[in-house]
Amino acid sequence: MPDPRSRAQRRRDTEHRLTNDRDLWVASASADAAPHLVPLSFDWDGEALLMATPKDSPTGRNLAANRAVRLGLGPTRDVSMIEGEVEVLEIDALPGQRGDRFAARTGFDPRELAPPYRWFRIRPLRIQAWREVNELPDRELMRDGRWLSDASAGRVTGRVPSGSPGPGGVAASAGGPSATPAGVSPAGVPPSPPTPPIRSAGGGPDGLLEAVQIEPGGADGDREGGPARPLGTR
């Protein structure tokens, strides 16, 4: 088992995923506490995640009603869990340039689709990140919307040599990839490591997502936002 990463390294890895990943799991609940889980596409601007889903879908109704959400970013053995507060925007309330950026990044434009969509802007309040059991201590990276560590702590300055491991690995002499402001893609950073094999669901910390495949839309037939195809295909 690899040595646990520092909080600063986990923050850098999480910001890298926020900047470079396009899909995540969105967990919400209805007024009567019925849970709902669906994969959606997102765009991160350095402060908040932007998503879109039909206003009358289960997720759309849940987010608009209680303004709370939990997100699962990355595979189950390299996960970042994000809890946030939700701002609801009508589809024509977002500046055109911001909507264009979302469409270019995610591959779909909810402004052109029916039934009516809404934008959901999510500001993180709490973030946790871990890989294996030895990373459960210090897994909390953000509390009350504030990072608990400086992303530059323990970083080796200078360019990351070609062929160095990705975020979380040993790069240069001892550190990871150079830190960059949130929302800016780190130059020269290799793609995120491949998803490790999924083990059967069992023990683990609260909030660990099981490996399930959910088609767009729930059992009630409502289509959710995000790519109009099963997650993981393009």
- Annotated domain spans of the chain: 21-132
pLDDT of 126-185, one tens digit each?
999 999 999 999 999 999 999 998 988 776 544 434 444 444 443 333 334 334 444 444
- 109's tokens: 């434009």
- Looking up tokens 């150079």, which residue turns up? 178
Q: How far apart are CA 127 and CA 143, in angstroms?
A: 7
Please check the confidence at residue 96 and state whether its pLDDT lies above 70.
yes
- 103's tokens: 């469409």
* Average pLDDT taken over every residue of the chain: 77
| Nearest of 234, 230, 231, 224 to residue 52 by alpha carbon | 224
| Nearest of 38, 44, 32, 88 to residue 59 by alpha carbon | 38
Between 15-19, 47-51, 169-173, the lowest mean confidence (pLDDT) is in 169-173
Q: Are 192 and 16 in contact (CB under 8 A)?
A: yes
Q: How far apart are CA 116 and CA 149, in angstroms?
A: 40
* Ramachandran angles phi, psi of 65, nearest 5°: -80, -45
Q: How far apart are CA 73 and CA 88, in angstroms?
A: 21
User: Quick one: 96 exposed, middle or buried, by C-beta within 10 A (0-12, 13-18, 19+)?
Assistant: exposed
Length of the chain: 234
User: Quick one: 130 exposed, middle or buried, by C-beta within 10 A (0-12, 13-18, 19+)?
Assistant: buried
**What is the percent of the chain with per-residue pLDDT over 90, rounded to a whole number?**
62
| Stronger pLDDT, 202 or 155, i.e. the higher one | 155
Q: How far apart are CA 39 and CA 231, in angstroms?
A: 7
* Whole-number pLDDT of residue 12: 97
Q: Are 128 and 139 in contact (CB under 8 A)?
A: yes
Strand partners, 46: none
* Whole-number pLDDT of residue 221: 35
Please check the confidence at residue 6 and state whether its pLDDT lies above 80.
yes
* Whole-number pLDDT of residue 75: 96
**pLDDT band of 193, cuts 50, 70, 90:** very low
Superfamily of domain 21-132: Electron Transport, Fmn-binding Protein; Chain A (2.30.110.10)
* Ramachandran angles phi, psi of 112, nearest 5°: -105, 5
* Whole-number pLDDT of residue 151: 83
Task: Please give the angle made by the CA atoms of 126, 130 and 132, to the nearest 5 degrees.
Answer: 155
* Whole-number pLDDT of residue 156: 52
**What is the percent of the chain with per-residue pLDDT over 70, rounded to a whole number?**
65
